[in-house]
Amino acid sequence: MSDVFAFHQGSIPLLVSVPHDGRRLPGDLQHRMTDAGRDIPDTDWHVAELYSFVRDMGASMIVADYSRYVIDLNRSSTDEALYAGQWVTGLCPMQTFAGHEIYVDGETIDDADRAQRIERYWRPYHDKIAAALEELRDEHGHALLWDAHSIPSEVPRLFAGELPVLNLGTNDDRSCDKRITDEIMRVVEDSPYSFVRNGRFKGGFITRTYGKQNRNVQAMQLELAQRSYMDEATRRFDAVKAAKLRDTLRRVLETYVTVATRSPT
């Protein structure tokens, strides 16, 4: 058992990771934060609920408990920028996507604080991903990672205009065999949703780190525009929208598993 993440063990070679739907904030940290910070607006709201169907598919699932404001699990522990020339959210964010301060005046994150967060929250999540993928590969001969995210449809500080609904990232085909992605894109193209492949979101640290084609581990990230399954203004889950989106997500993930299983390694 872990108080850092929840883990469900499945029976097929697919692991779904949800690193940004965590809502918890340690008590001592809350006292250092602004109202804007405690509101955790940049949460990937309801992504774990949206993807709950993958357990019935037989997939494994790991879901972070703590907010990305404690530490961003989709960033390197050494905090390298993912996208050159763009605003960096960082391993331990200091501002919200909208530019509001997360901490009250005078509060900083020093090296000791950052190191403690890495050991307490970041490392256990990544150790579990690595171990789970290794076990899947040993059992099935290959392993598949799906990194599940969402974001408001418009975030001017991060991208211009309105984001497509489905933003699939494979680090420009480095983290996943292009033949697999091509098959998934056929499903995406047949869906009712707007989409892009390796656009603004090419896949973060998790996708780039664990997708190792030469070791029979494929990895993809899907960034969803939140308008597709929730009310962005109220942050409420929309069951009708979600049911429609799940139909597409299920077809995509079933294709991922099927094509990866029959593709040569």
Task: For residue 35, report the phi and psi dihedrals to the nearest 5 degrees.
Answer: -60, -40
Q: For all residues of the chain together, what is the average pLDDT? A: 95
For 88-120, how does the pLDDT look when each residue is reduced to its tens digit (9 = 90+)?
A: 788 999 999 999 999 999 899 999 999 999 999
Q: Is the pLDDT of residue 136 over 70?
A: yes
**Distance separating alpha carbons of residues 99 and 260, to the nearest angstrom:** 41
**Residue 2 has what pLDDT?**
80
Q: Which CATH superfamily is domain 5-262 in?
A: Zn-dependent exopeptidases (3.40.630.40)
Binned at pLDDT 50, 70 and 90, residue 47 comes out as very high
More confident residue, 84 or 170: 170
Whether 80 shows a pLDDT value over 90: the answer reads no
Split at pLDDT 50, 70, 90, the class of 87 is low
Residue 49 has pLDDT above 70, yes or no: yes
In tens, the pLDDT along 174-190 reads 999 999 999 999 999 99
Distances (CA, A) of 191 to 97, 115, 158, 166: 29, 43, 26, 10
What is the mean pLDDT of the segment spanning 4-15?
98
- % of the chain beyond a pLDDT of 90: 92
Task: Spell out a b/e string for 87-125, using b for 16 or more CB atoms within 10 Å of the CB, else e.
Answer: eebebbbebbbeeeebbeeeeebeeeebeebbeebbebb
CA distance 172 to 160: 21
Q: Can you give the pLDDT at residue 247?
A: 98
CA distance 18 to 259: 23
* Amino acid at site 250: R
Mean local confidence (pLDDT), 56-63: 98
Average pLDDT over residues 58-64: 98
Mean pLDDT, to the nearest integer, of 242-262? Answer: 96
The answer, yes or no, to whether residue 134 has pLDDT greater than 80, is yes
Between 1 and 93, whose confidence is greater? 93
Statement: residue 83 has pLDDT above 60: no
Domains of the chain by residue range:
5-262
